[in-house]
Amino acid sequence: MLLLAKKDPICTPSATRPISLLDVFLKINEKVFLTRFQNIINKRGLLPDTQSGFREKFRLQTRMLLFLEQVLSMMANSTPVATIFVDFKTAFDQLWFEGCIGKLKRMGIPTPFLKWINNWLLNRRAYVEIQGRKSRWFHIHRGGPQGSILTPTVFITYHSDMTNYINMASSYMFADDLAAVVSGRIGEKYSLQYLDLEHRLKSLLDALEFYAILSIQPINYEKTVGLWSACAIGGPKFCLHMGDTDIRWAQEFKCLGY
Can you give the pLDDT at residue 225?
A: 93
Please give the chain's pLDDT, 258 residues, in tens.
777 888 888 888 778 887 777 788 888 999 999 999 999 999 999 988 888 878 887 877 888 888 889 888 888 888 889 999 998 988 888 889 999 999 999 999 999 999 999 999 988 888 888 788 899 999 988 888 877 889 989 999 999 999 899 999 988 888 888 999 998 888 788 888 888 899 999 999 999 999 999 999 999 888 899 999 888 767 888 889 887 889 999 888 888 778
Give the global pTM. 0.84
Q: Which of 203, 180, 201, 250 is nearest to 222 (CA)?
A: 250
Angle among Cα 2, 143, 206 to the nearest 5 degrees reads 130
Q: Where are the domains of the chain?
A: 22-250
Query: Three-state secondary structure along the chain?
Result: CEEEECCCCCCCHHHEEEECCCCHHHHHHHHHHHHHHHHHHHHCCCCCCCEECCCCCCCHHHHHHHHHHHHHHHHHCCCCEEEEEEEECCCHHHCCHHHHHHHHHHCCCCHHHHHHHHHHHCCEEECCEECCEECCCEEECCCCCCCCCCHHHHHHHHCCCHHHHCCCCEEEEECCEEEEEEECCCCCCHHHHHHHHHHHHHHHHHHHHHHHHHCCCCECHHHCEEEEECCCCCCCCCCEEECCEEEEEECCCCCCCC
N-terminal to C-terminal alpha carbon distance within the chain: 31
- Which amino acid, one-letter code, is at 186? I
Burial of 257 from C-beta contacts in 10 A (0-12 / 13-18 / 19+): exposed
- Which amino acid, one-letter code, is at 24? V
CB-based contact 123:97 (threshold 8 Å)? no
- Which amino acid, one-letter code, is at 205? L
Burial of 170 from C-beta contacts in 10 A (0-12 / 13-18 / 19+): buried
Can you give the pLDDT at residue 103?
A: 93
Length of the chain: 258
d(CA 71, CA 76): 9
Can you give the pLDDT at residue 107?
A: 92
